[in-house]
Amino acid sequence: MKKKIIRIAIGIALLLSGIVFESRSFLVSLILFAISFIVSGYDIILKAFKNIIRGKVFDENFLMSVAAISAFCIGEYLESAAVVIFYQIGETFQNYAVSKSRKSVSALMDIKPDFANLKTEDGILKVAPQDVKIGDIIIIRPGEKVPLDGVIVSGNSSVDCSPITGESIPADLCEGNEIISGCVNMSGVIFVKVTKEYSESTVNKILDLIENAISKKSKSENFITEFARIYSPIVTAAAVLVAIIPPLLFHGAWYTWIYRALSFLVVSCPCALVISIPLSFFGGIGRASKLGILIKGGKYVEILASLDTVVFDKTGTLTTGAFSVSDVIPAGVSENELLRLAAHAEAFSNHPISNSIKSFYGTPLDLSLVSDAEELPGYGISATVEGKKMLVGNSKLMSNNNVFFDDTPVFGAVVHVAADGEYLGKIVISDTVKQDAFTAIKSLRAVGINNVVMLTGDNRNSSKRIADSLGIDKVYSELLPEDKVSKLEEIASSGKHTAFIGDGINDAPALARADVGIAMGAFGSDAAIEAADVVLMNDAPSDIAKAVELSKHTMNIVKQNIVFSLSVKLAVFILISLGLAHMWLAVFADVGIAFLAILNALRTLK
């Protein structure tokens, strides 16, 4: 960059010297203009030549080289040198703008941990994060990055999670809390038991997402690439026709029409579009990442900007997923016996509802009493406890096994319990609505999303109560994972651009099916994050509205640049054809418009 700036400065000095000597010595001014042209523009001609050899003929380097060399050949020495100097100034600014935009994303690369302090029998060893295994204990001192995901087994500290989640307030973590890689330990020394290898860690997945995001181009970016490929040969042919048809058919002056054709070539360079459009998307993705919103490519920015329907999963998305037992209703057995049998049946499950039942029971489980435990996604649990065939789950599980059960409506998720086909009662589980969920729905309305839907496997009464409290338009309850996909397809079939938001493994099919899948990233499942197109690292549903608003802002800038650039170029084309504009205006229409378009594109960073 510095060498290029020095070359431009020398070129400008030589150009000004040539202008000074123009009235005194034609030969001296010609030599100064020629040296200025060579110093400033040799690399443009070299790139054009190399691209021609590679089969890429009609790019901006070719157009500029032909225009500048031809202008020199017809005696327009000053304008020839000026064209390449102004083009180089524009290129330098473009490189600076792209570099600044890249920094908004590459700054995130600083979250990559350099080492891990591994606790061994021989003491503490500083090793690469990739060398640490699941179950190993690592030590994280104040000021160090958390290298791997794990659970704190000793110590407590304030942890800065802003590099990952965008959350500015440090989290106070202690023994038993989960901690994710990429965060920064701020105060105390903590000992962490590793739960994921580096390749599966949060920080590595985020880095992969960032590196792959820019490769997924939007329709607008693909259009501009294709447009430039077709556009350049057409304008080159048009310039040739402008140069030869008027002199041959209408006795026009060759010099005049060649000059107009060269001006035509200068103004036709598609730099403003080719640079500013991808830069706009890059800036939008970079800005979103600073807010803890990872968008996996420009095409998803485009979809987010045109959303009209948002479909939420309930548990862990709109609700905390922190289930607790709110009521125990036995039928023919004691409350304690109902809880004991249900807790043992759920012994091997890590589902939030299972954990809430085990936690509420509060007595250590005798795992030797349990056998043949099987998790039935969308239904519940089947297990043998003390020789009894236990069924613990929802009403569909009871119906499918011909168990007569109490279906009296209650507020909350109902877990029915049966043993050997005999109904023993039900346990009511309540989930808490996230405070941020209320803000999320209001914010979505504010950015123009007027159709908000909730899909859940929860019972009808509980899910309707939550939907009504949040102001959700429509709710579909008691759905299996495959039912969610079917409902999503039904909603999308009406021609709506649809986003689905979820966090669990069972949400992955729906996330993949939606026009844009949005996953809760901080503690969402790996499958959900992989299937999603957008990841909310702060686990805040209100960030969806931020993503939509930012995407709309980005797309507005893209449209402004397309309309502005093409309009100005068309106007200058017409003026040049009528002989009302010189090559200086053509230079402005190329470099000047590119300069303005890039400045406009950089607004996505703010």
Q: Which of 500, 528, 62 has its CA nearest to residue 265?
A: 62
Alpha-carbon dihedral of residues 565, 569, 572, 576, nearest 10 degrees? 160
List, in sequence order, every residue forming a beta bridge with 391; answer none if it has no partner.
382, 418
Alpha-carbon dihedral of residues 501, 507, 511, 512, nearest 10 degrees? 180
Answer yes or no: 313 catalytic.
yes
Distance CA 139, CA 179 (A): 13
| Residue matched to tokens 């599966």 | 200
Q: Which helix (H) or strand (E) holds 67?
A: helix 60-73
Distance CA 525, CA 281 (A): 28
Residues belonging to the chain: 606
Q: Are strands 309-313 and 451-455 parallel, antiparallel or unpaired?
A: parallel
Distance CA 126, CA 172 (A): 26
Contact 66, 45 (CB under 8 A): no
What is the edge-to-edge ordering of all strands in the sheet holding 451-455? 293-295, 534-536, 516-520, 498-502, 309-313, 451-455, 474-476
**Backbone Cα Rg of the chain:** 33
| Residues in contact with 83: Cβ distance below 8 Å, sequence separation at least 6, in sequence order | 64, 67, 68, 71, 266, 583, 587
Which tokens sit at 96?
A: 């600076």
Distance CA 29, CA 19 (A): 7
Task: Identify the active-site residue in 313, 458, 533, 539.
Answer: 313
Contact 599, 560 (CB under 8 A): no
Distance CA 259, CA 170 (A): 64
Contact 173, 155 (CB under 8 A): no
DSSP assignment of 464-482, as one string? Answer: HHHHHHHT-SEEE-S--HH
Give how far Cα 322 sits from Cα of 261, 326, 355, Å.
71, 12, 9
Give how far Cα 417 sits from Cα of 388, 424, 571, Å.
12, 6, 77
Contact 89, 8 (CB under 8 A): yes
| Residues in contact with 12: Cβ distance below 8 Å, sequence separation at least 6, in sequence order | 36, 85
17-26 b/e (C-beta count within 10 Å ≥ 16 → b): bbeebbeeee
Contact 44, 61 (CB under 8 A): yes
Contact 560, 48 (CB under 8 A): no
Phi first, then psi, for residue 21 (nearest 5°) are: -85, -5
Q: Are strands 184-185 and 157-160 parallel, antiparallel or unpaired?
A: antiparallel
Q: Which residues are catalytic?
A: 313
